[in-house]
Amino acid sequence: MAAQPHPPCAAVPAIAMSGASMASHTPMRKSLPVVLSGQALVELDLEHEEQRKNAVVEQLVSNYELGQRSRSRAMSEQSADTRASTHDSTSRWAEPQQTLIFLDWDNTLFPTSELVERQGLHISEDGQEKTPLEVGAQLQEELARWSEAVHNFLSIACAEGGHCAVVTNSRRPWVDSCLDKFAPHLLDSLRRHDTLRVVYADEVEQQQRKHPSTSSRRRGCGGGGRCASQCAGLLRLLSEPDAEERQLRQRDARLTAAKLAAMRQEATEFYSRYPGQTWKNILCIGDMQFEHDAVRELASNRSSECPRRERLRTKTVLTPRGLSVSELTLQLELASMLLPAYVRFNGSFDLKLAQSDPFSAIATTLRMPQLRSLPTPCLAPFGWLHVDESLVDREEEAVETLLANVQVVVHDWLHELAATPSYNSASPS
């Protein structure tokens, strides 16, 4: 039997449907799980790891940039503070915190030649002898005035300098022995000065020889000074034919080296009170040439090896040798008045007072012309008071007048200096 054909489908009316309706009528399909091969999984893990690493790197970069900005601001502020501090310290180079004073003992502070050589008085070098000193009434009066003068001078020196070092080539306890014998009341008063120190140069040099590595570290800049000094001394010795002269030069070279070692130690310690402190203002007063050679060599070594921004003012005052007690007293009284001017002079100088007209030398060096017009007492060849027994009363009056006039001249000079703009402005450190 033949197959019957299917009946025709009924006509379905067309229905207009919106997109939303269409979507709502779209049959939902189940999301089938994605099955990845092993290779695809590896690639996906690598992609995730790369993304994680990139995120970490971005975070690190961000933190680094933030830290750099913070550090930059801090360094800028610190640099500004440092510049302000440097400007402040360099403009105040004459203040005690920046001023170092070196003093000799024998015949500079203490009348050794007069008491020991000319008067024949004995001073125990080891400090063990306690025999009372017997001197005449006149010498006792002179020593009383001298002790007052040296006390006042050291007090002013300690006020003007942040550190005052009495550097001597004598052996310990020579300074204490001298004071104990001739001015025992000064011992306690001088020990009360925190900025005053007695330095035995030979001890310092021997210590540096035992510990050369330590001493070289303490020397800092200018560490080659001792070598240069010894080489120069050796050349002088080799070129000197006379044996006696050779011995004298050898002695001077040894004493210079010892003073240099002591001065270097004191200067290095004093000018290390804060980071980056430069050497600024050193004054040396003494009666022997070798100590002035030592401080000049110290400054030369320092300037050749240390910061260019540093400006060291090196000032030396060479005093007359072998003064009597009264002459040394006058010298100390005058030095007490001149010391503030020495410290505040903005430059280096090498002042030699062992000449016929010391006031002219001081006036020229410090640019203090008023000193030349002062009436002065009768001067000895070494430049200071010469006592004529027939004119004792008038000489004493002349000395008092001289001291009063010098005090006025120095006071006016300091007042004018303080009013000078260039003095108060910052100069190279």
**Using CA atoms, how far apart are residues 418 and 342, in angstroms rounded to an integer?**
14
Average pLDDT over residues 173-183: 92
Cβ neighbours of residue 344 under 8 Å, at least 6 residues apart? 94, 414, 417, 423
Task: Label the pairing between strands 281-286 and 313-318.
Answer: parallel
Position 13 scores a pLDDT of 40
| DSSP code, position 106 | B
- Checking if the pLDDT of 75 tops 50, the result is no
pLDDT (average), residues 66-77:
55
What residues contact residue 427 under an 8 Å CB cut-off, 6+ apart?
90, 91, 93, 311, 346
Q: Is the pLDDT of residue 407 over 90?
A: yes
Average pLDDT, whole number, for the chain?
A: 77
Average pLDDT over residues 153-172: 95
**Average of pLDDT values for 255-274?**
94
CA distances from 360 to 55, 380, 386, 404 (A): 81, 15, 18, 18
Q: What is the pLDDT of residues 140-151, one digit of tens each?
A: 999 999 999 999
